[in-house]
Amino acid sequence: MPLFGKKEEPKVDYSRLPQHIAIIMDGNGRWAKSRGLPRTAGHAAGAETFRTIATYCREIGIKYLTVYAFSTENWKRPMEEVSAIMGLLKKYLLEAITDMEKEKVRFYFFGDLSPLPQELRQLCQETQTRSAGYTGCRVNICLNYGGRDEILRAARTFAGQCAAGEKKAEELTEADFSGYLWSAGIPDPDLVIRPSGEERISNFLLWQSAYAEFYFTDVNWPDFSKEELRRALAAYQSRSRRFGGV
């Protein structure tokens, strides 16, 4: 019998893991506020959680991990907070470049990187280029990313090709359209996780999440542990995915 107040360890079948997990890393600010700390402290703690969870996903054999790091709407936040997030990302990428030969993790970036500081843009490009040949877990970092913006960009690209006579609108399929998205070439997420108690998608992978399973938890992202990820995996495995069928 489990001790009073202690949650039972989730049972996960590691032979039936999802290929692709996507996470909205939410709750950093609330975590900090509950401790009387500045929001920047929450983002620093959240960055460490990202490192822990990304490493664990690689260890258990998750093939694709996509995380929502900074949305197209996050520019509305105070400049101090935005600068702190950019600084943490820079620190992480510098460390990743040092460790990537050992970890074999592939890094990709979804979103429009052009508004980012030049040094950070260069780091993103270097990280993606240097890790392209690795065969380990692929980590997609959504940075200045918005699902609606992604779909609009894809539609405009296709429309331009139609106008140039390169494509025919009536021949467009869902598979073709997926090839215009940032996520081209990888499977859609099987499981989307959102911590912090919020239960909405917040403009994240709108096209790709059409048939994803969702897992919501009240745990704020800095407190999101390996055990909580196992709970999400157990919940995912308990569901029947019919994709619109019977």
The residues assigned a catalytic role are 26, 74
The first and second tokens of residue 89, run together, are 């990302």
Local structure of 11: helix, strand or coil:
coil
Q: Strand order of the sheet with strand 20-24?
A: 106-110, 138-145, 64-71, 20-24, 191-194, 213-216
How far is Cα 9 from Cα 231, in angstroms, rounded to an integer? 8
Residue 110, Cβ density class (10 Å: 0-12 exposed, 13-18 middle, ≥19 buried): buried
Residue 200: how many CA atoms within 13 Å on its side-chain side?
3
The first and second tokens of residue 217, run together, are 């938890």
How far is Cα 152 from Cα 229, in angstroms, rounded to an integer? 32
Say if residues 191 and 21 touch (Cβ distance below 8 Å): yes
How far is Cα 213 from Cα 191, in angstroms, rounded to an integer? 5
Among 2, 14, 6, smallest CA distance to 237 is for 14
